[in-house]
Amino acid sequence: MLINLKNFEKCPQFDEDYFLYYEDFDFCRRYAKQGHKIAITQKISVVHQPSSITNKNPELKLEYSIYSYLLSLEKHTSKLVLIYRLIRITIAALILLPINYKIAPVKIKAIGKFIRHNCRLGRTNC
């Protein structure tokens, strides 16, 4: 991601609610809403090496990916879309539970983490 800092009065910030994944999407959506241009080009390429840290713990990687995905849906879509995806991920995790006992609980944990986060912020009735 390249950012022309001359277009900002103060340095643009990533949302600290994100730890991994979707932080760039959120960043672009927020600044596009403020009128900044967001563009994609094939003229520049960057080789991104896979992380040696996140690949050591695929369950944690999945947990943060789902959590950040739900956070992005909450911030940038309708409640209906968020509820639909929450239900879909929950049902998929429950169906997966007897088949893959490692992944299913991670999905459920990510959903719980998202719900707890919203409760702390007072976004939902808990």
Task: Delimit the domains of the chain by residue range.
Answer: 5-121
Q: What pLDDT does residue 118 have?
A: 82
d(CA 23, CA 48) in angstroms, rounded, equals 16
Whether residue 90 contacts residue 106, with contact meaning beta carbons closer than 8 Å, is answered with no
Residue 55 phi, psi (nearest 5)? -75, -15
For residue 9, is pLDDT > 70? Answer: yes
End-to-end CA distance of the chain: 37
User: Per-residue pLDDT tens for 85-120?
Assistant: 999 999 999 998 888 888 899 999 999 999 998 887
The pLDDT assigned to 47 comes to 83
Question: What pLDDT was estimated at residue 52?
Answer: 67
In this predicted structure, what is the pLDDT of residue 119?
Answer: 82
Q: How many Cα atoms occupy the beta-carbon half-sphere of 31 within 13 Å?
A: 22
pLDDT tens-digit map of 11-61: 889 999 998 899 999 999 999 998 888 888 889 888 877 766 667 788 988
